[in-house]
């Protein structure tokens, strides 16, 4: 019905490179308008607020470092979600997997003796984080592969189960009195970027960002240059056809889920090894759910994920910068608007593009 | 006596679940995934507190709470029905939106980042007076119109689904939308109505929370929408079984609160019960559940 509708606008010949960028750009435009309205309800000038937002993020060393720090976690969770979607699965469990990864890194870091050289300790702790994330994703992965259980439902439920489990572990097993965090690790700390360059002084940005970028490169290579990646994408596009073509879709799903969990778990390294040196309850703070937005705006492509992680990190850090003028929660509203706008704009804009192509062809 | 106290406490805990799960059943049986129950409830709670505060009447609060639920439900319907957006994505986004927007407007309306001022609720009997405490609490609980509406909400949903023409269309829209379209009924319209009605129920669930606690507090739904969703799934999308699931989850919670002093099982493990049961149910390890077959599917 609606697909036959004549397009409201018929731009003649949109450049090919621009077409995949149109939906996210449309969405950002909508979000900017909503943002203006919210700022106006608070009686502030949108221009002033946006100026402060940019100044407080990319305009100074601390702000820039904080953006990079926040982007690091988001790259990891964004990649985790994107990889799942490429295989036709919705990993909503990145939030729990991230927390579990961070906890695993902190727990292993505590087990290592104090003098362990960084070259040994860091890889061990990073591996622990990935394994922790994978463990959290294994439950939905196995249940999906074996019983066809909806990964959406299972990952949501797992988020709550993991939260309760970690709450119990930190409250009764591994806590520092009067706090919600584990003791500091003895070895495995990842150095801060500020240690090598004054450009980031004072910020939490650390070398985990290199792991995150490495993970993005790895994900791109895995997805588009390996046989496993081909099978993954085939299973995502058309599982029945993939199965008919000799791909064991169930095991592709399980493998993807484990890898996705490992990527989300890697994000835990950023906070635990790179920033605080301990696991603290609630450190994930929605970064797992935000990964969905990151993946969506990044069109599930590793390069897109990195860019959109920077965008959302800027918004999140910028929120603190403008808090004096408008409540920082405005950014949560804007993030949600971006997600809804992308989710609606993608099918809508693609339909319009198809209609345009149909006319010119 | 303590049995009655236990039952009453269970009922009070179950009320928001019963409301939200009613909305969940309506929405999901029509084919629209109800990940947003949490966000609908939270918005309902905020609007109820707002309405009750400014009018001084809990009844106005009740209407506002239902209206708040409908408002976000309409946004959900617009994105996922009219614009065929992915329902899971929109659901997550709306939950995020509800948390952010209620905080934003909390600052705007009450200049607070944590809670609203005290708002009037439905307390017709005061629970004071030592000896009559127990019997008074019975009255206090049962004299709350929201507890009564909550109790009949799932039976009402059962009646709508199984005894009305609209219910038949709603179920068909969730199972085989093509069949609905083939007899000239608009699937989109049926789903719109189902989602808006679901918004009313979930909004009332939030209203109950805000009015019972006499204020709105930041993120006060605290995952109750997801427990309700778990109850919908565990109850196999059947109103009667969903009601049992809600009461069961609430009873487990009551049990944990009452036994807190004894430290038999860590409270975190009791918290996991609804989620674990749901996972077991969807995996089909014991008695497989079956979701509406067109759930989450776009229909033209």
Q: Is residue A183 classed exposed, middle or buried when 0-12, 13-18 and 19+ CB atoms within 10 A define those classes?
A: middle
Of the candidates B90, B101, B108, the beta carbon closest to that of A42 is on B108
Burial A283-316 (b: 16+ CB within 10 A, else e): bbebbbbbbbbbbbbbbbbbebbbbbbbbbbbbb
Mean pLDDT value of segment A103-109: 91
Q: Which of residues 96 through 115 in chain B touch A, CB cutoff 8 A? A: 96-97, 99-101, 103-104, 107-108, 113
Torsion of CA A186, A260, A250, B28, to 10 degrees: 120
Asked, for residue B42, whether it belongs to a domain, the answer is: yes
Which CATH number is A58-325 given? 1.10.3470
Number of domains in chain B: 1
Chain B's closest residue to A85, CA to CA, is B89
Tell me the C-alpha distance between A33 and B236, whole Å.
Answer: 42
Distance from CA of A92 to the nearest CA of B (A): 9
Non-local CB neighbours of B217 within 8 Å, separated by 6+ positions = B114, B115, B116
Cα angle A222, A223, A227; round to 5: 75
Residues of A with Cβ-Cβ distance to B278 under 8 angstroms: 153, 157
In this complex, do B88 and A168 lie within 8 Å of one another by their Cβ atoms?
no
- Under the banding of pLDDT at 50, 70 and 90, the label for residue A225 is very high
**A325 interface with B at CB cutoff 8 Å:** no
Of residues B13 and A9, more confidently modeled? B13
Res. B207: pLDDT tops 90: yes
- Residue A140: burial class (beta carbons within 10 Å; 0-12, 13-18, 19+): buried
pLDDT in tens, B25-34: 999 999 999 9
In this structure, what CATH number is given to the domain that contains residue B206?
1.10.3470
Residue B299 within a domain: no
B290 in any annotated domain: no
Whether chain B has a CB inside 8 Å of the CB on A138: the answer is no
pLDDT of residue B24: 96
Which residues have C-beta within 8 Å of that of residue B257, sequence separation ≥ 6?
Answer: B9
What residue has token string 């009305």?
A: B164
- Where residue B170 falls among pLDDT bands split at 50, 70, 90? very high
Percent of chain B with pLDDT over 90: 56
Q: Is B32's Cβ below 8 Å from some Cβ in A?
A: no
Chain mean position to CA B193? 17
pLDDT of residue A13: 65
Kindly state whether residue B288 falls inside one of the protein's structural domains: no
Alpha helices in B183-272, H assignment, sequence order = 187-212, 224-234, 239-258, 267-271
CA distance B38 to B43: 9
Question: Residue A271 corresponds to which tokens in the numbers above?
Answer: 């906070």
Q: Which domain holds residue B238?
A: 2-283
What is residue A6's predicted lDDT score, i.e. its pLDDT? 39
Name residue A280's beta-bridge partners: A181
Q: Contacts of residue B103 in chain A, CB cutoff 8 Å? A: 327, 329, 332
Mean model confidence pLDDT for chain B: 87
Q: What are the pLDDT digits (tens) for A50-96?
A: 888 888 888 888 889 899 999 999 999 999 999 999 999 999 999 99
Residue A93 CA, distance from chain mean position: 11
Contact A156 B226 (CB under 8 A): yes
The verdict on ipTM greater than 0.90 is no
A103: helix, coil or strand? helix
pLDDT tens, position by position, A154-165: 999 999 999 999
Question: B43 pLDDT exceeds 90?
Answer: yes
Asked if residue B298 belongs to a domain, the reply is no
Contact indicator for B216, B102 with CB cutoff of 8 Å: yes
């Amino acid at each position: 019905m609606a697909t036959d509708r004549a397009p409201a606008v018929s731009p003649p010949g949109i450049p090919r490179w621009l077409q995949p960028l149109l939906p996210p750009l449309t969405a950002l435009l909508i979000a900017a308008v909503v943002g203006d309205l919210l700022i106006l309800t608070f009686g502030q000038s949108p221009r002033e607020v946006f100026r402060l937002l940019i100044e407080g993020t990319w305009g100074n060393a601390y702000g820039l470092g904080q953006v990079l720090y926040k982007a690091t976690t988001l790259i990891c969770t964004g990649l985790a979600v994107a990889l799942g979607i490429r295989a036709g699965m919705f990993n909503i469990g990145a939030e729990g997997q991230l927390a579990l990864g961070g906890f695993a890194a902190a727990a292993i870091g505590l087990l290592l003796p104090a003098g362990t050289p960084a070259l040994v300790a860091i890889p061990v702790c990073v591996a622990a984080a990935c394994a922790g994330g994978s463990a959290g994703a294994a439950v939905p992965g196995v249940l999906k592969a074996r019983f066809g259980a909806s990964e959406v439902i299972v990952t949501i439920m797992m988020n709550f189960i993991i939260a309760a489990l970690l709450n119990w572990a930190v409250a009764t097993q591994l806590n520092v009195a009067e706090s919600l965090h584990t003791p500091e690790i003895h070895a495995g700390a990842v150095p801060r970027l500020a240690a090598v360059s004054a450009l980031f002084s004072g910020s939490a940005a650390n070398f985990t960002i290199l792991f995150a970028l490495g993970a993005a490169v790895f994900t791109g290579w895995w997805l588009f240059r390996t046989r496993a990646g081909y099978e993954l994408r085939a299973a995502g596009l058309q599982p029945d056809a993939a199965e008919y073509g000799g791909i064991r879709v169930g095991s592709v799903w399980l493998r993807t889920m484990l890898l996705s969990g490992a990527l989300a778990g890697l994000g835990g390294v950023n906070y635990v090894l790179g920033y605080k040196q301990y696991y603290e309850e609630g450190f994930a703070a929605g970064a797992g759910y935000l990964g969905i937005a990151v993946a969506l705006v990044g069109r599930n492509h590793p390069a897109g994920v990195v860019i959109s992680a920077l965008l959302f990190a800027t918004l999140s850090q910028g929120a603190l910068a403008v808090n004096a003028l408008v409540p920082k929660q405005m950014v949560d509203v804007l993030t949600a608007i971006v997600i809804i706008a992308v989710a609606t704009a993608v099918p809508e804009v693609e339909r319009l593009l198809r209609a345009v192509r149909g006319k010119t062809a | 006596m303590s049995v009655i106290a236990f039952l009453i406490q269970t009922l009070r805990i179950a009320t928001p679940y019963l409301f939200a799960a009613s909305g969940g059943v309506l929405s999901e049986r029509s084919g629209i995934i109800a990940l947003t129950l949490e966000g609908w409830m939270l918005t309902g709670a905020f609007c109820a507190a707002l309405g009750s505060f400014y009018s001084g009447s809990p009844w106005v609060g009740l209407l506002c709470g239902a209206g708040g639920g409908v408002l976000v439900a309409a946004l959900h319907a617009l994105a996922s029905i009219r614009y065929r957006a992915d329902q899971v994505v929109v659901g997550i986004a709306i939950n995020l939106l509800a948390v952010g927007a209620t905080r934003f407007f909390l600052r705007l309306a009450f200049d607070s980042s944590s809670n609203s001022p005290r708002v009037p609720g439905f307390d017709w009997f005061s629970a004071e007076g030592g000896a009559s405490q127990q019997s008074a609490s019975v009255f206090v609980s049962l004299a709350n119109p929201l507890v009564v509406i909550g109790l009949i909400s799932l039976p009402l949903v059962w009646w709508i689904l199984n005894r009305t023409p609209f219910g038949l269309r709603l179920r068909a829209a969730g199972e085989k939308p093509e069949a609905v379209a083939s007899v000239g009924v608009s699937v989109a319209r049926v789903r719109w109505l189902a989602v808006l009605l679901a918004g009313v129920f979930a909004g009332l669930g939030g209203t109950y929370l805000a009015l019972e606690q006499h204020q709105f507090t930041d993120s006060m739904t605290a995952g109750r929408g997801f427990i309700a969703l778990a109850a919908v799934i565990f109850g196999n999308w059947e109103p009667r079984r969903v009601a049992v699931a809600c009461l069961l989850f609430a009873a487990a919670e009551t049990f944990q609160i009452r036994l807190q002093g004894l430290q038999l099982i860590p409270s975190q493990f009791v918290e996991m019960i609804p989620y674990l049961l749901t996972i077991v149910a969807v995996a089909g390890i014991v008695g497989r559940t079956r979701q509406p077959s067109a759930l989450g599917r776009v229909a033209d």
